[in-house]
Amino acid sequence: MWSAAVMTTQIGGPGVVLTDEQVRRFVAERLAAEDLDGRSVCVVVPDGTRSCPLPLLLTAVRDALEGRVGRLTVLIALGTHAPMTDTEPAPGIHAINHAWWEPSTFVSLGTISADRIGELSNGLLRHEVDVRINRAVVEHDVALVLGPVFPHEVVGFSGGNKYFFPGVAGADVIDLSHWLGALITSSEIIGTRGITPVRALIDEAASLIPSRRLAFCLVVRSGSDELHSIAYGTPERAWAAAAGVSAEAHVRYLDAPVKRVVSILPTKYQDMWTGAKGFYKLEPVVADGGEVILYAPHISSISEMHPEIEEIGYHCRDYFTRQWDRFKHLHWGVLAHSTHLRGAGTYSPEHGERCRVRVTLATAIPEHVVRQANLGYLDPAHVDPDALAADPDTFVVPQAGEVLYRLRS
């Protein structure tokens, strides 16, 4: 039997940078207090698209559990991202990719009924879902989440149980949760604290996991390996504590909308599927009729994992919902990504599609591919971020993708 319910504890805060020693000591003390002797532990960690001092944290976890646990597995939560080629996230620690493309990866935890989905989604969806997850999670006694929390376009704030769903989940839950977020819209849900409908769905799915669930939820100084804060407890409570810090550390406010944003994407985003975060985080501050330029000369593809997005193109939510019979057979997660990058807009048979802002790619993706995907094209060689920063109508954001920008109310 397990010991009493774990206490939620946290160190750090929005204006703090924790030392490595503080982090190691916190991890060691929290895990020393847990009944883990002889247990098997699956540690679920982020892929390379998230800022995170993973070597420090994984080493601290390993040192705290060495000689105590019977088996320790590190599982990379890819969602449906490309697999990591470097599967040694810390010296001497080997990790396995979540092979979401391989059916044998998964085990079913049961279903969530259509009626229950209706309740969780506030009536937006009524669709039974088979809850499948990477079998490594359920084949261990303990599932330990180790990952950061940021404002997120689908769920409000990332982290916590999101590392299970969609992190190491099957396509059914991924499609349903992402489409629910798309129906609400990215601009509406991103940076929303508390239990959003998507968070409620994720937590419901996670409650079916038979393993004991624990989490270290991190608030990382954006674009760095430094930690503002670390919280420990159940995924639900540790996430809530971290989201409170992230809401202060990762949200910036502007007094007025801007006509044009130049979103400079870091190299950790290797395709537009992941680099689209540079749009999500800036859409709320762009004026009607304005433009977001995603500047990433290193990106040469929209998505190698999801090539169908090039055929579907990028469109607002109503483009799909008003023509649902044309699109409902496709992966809803792909449709959701399409709406997230295209932003707010309307569609009618009489007037066609009208999007609130323009989205322009200044990348190495060929012009014909960009335009076929219903996005604007700009030769990255013609983009001078320093010169654009001098334009009073242009807002240049380096290292875009993690910090959310909003208008001051």
Return the minimum-mean-pLDDT range out of 87-101, 104-118, 220-234. 87-101
The neighbour count for residue 88, using CB atoms within 10 Å, is 13
- In 3D space, the residue among 58, 278, 238, 46 whose CA is nearest the CA of residue 151 turns out to be 278
Long-range contacts of 376-381 (CB under 8 A, 24+ apart): 376/291, 378/293, 380/295, 380/296, 380/297, 381/297
Listed by start position, the domains of the chain span 9-249, 252-407
Q: Is the dihedral of CA 346, 351, 356, 357 positive or negative?
A: positive
* Dihedral sign of CA atoms 241, 201, 159, 398 in order: negative
Give the separation between CA 216 and CA 29, rounded to whole angstroms. Answer: 12
Task: Give the CA angle between residues 277, 89, 109 to the nearest 5°.
Answer: 70
| Beta strands across the sheet bearing 40-46 | 9-12, 227-233, 212-220, 142-148, 40-46, 71-77, 95-97
What pLDDT score was predicted for residue 78? Answer: 86
Residue 380 preceded by cis peptide, ω within 30: no
Report DSSP state, residue 13: -
CA distance linking residue 205 with residue 168, whole number of Å: 12
CA dihedral 120, 122, 123, 125 (to 10 degrees): -50
**pLDDT > 70 in the chain, percent:** 99
Mean pLDDT over 190-219 rounds to: 96
Mean pLDDT to the nearest integer, 142-146: 97
Q: Could you read off the pLDDT of 397-407 as tens digits, one per residue?
A: 999 999 999 99
Q: Output the CA–CA distances (angstroms, integers) from residue 377 to 112, 303, 352, 359, in the order listed.
A: 42, 17, 21, 9
For the whole model, what pTM was predicted?
0.93
pLDDT value, residue 148: 95
Tell me if 237 sits within 8 A of 229, measured CB to CB: no
pLDDT digits (tens, 9 = 90+) for 303-358: 988 899 999 999 999 999 999 999 999 999 999 999 999 999 999 999 999 999 99
Residue 5's pLDDT band, with cuts at 50, 70 and 90, is: low
- The CATH fold assigned to 252-407 is 2-enoyl-CoA Hydratase; Chain A, domain 1 (3.90.226)
The CATH code of domain 9-249 reads: 3.40.50.11440
Q: Which residues pair with 268 in a beta bridge?
A: none
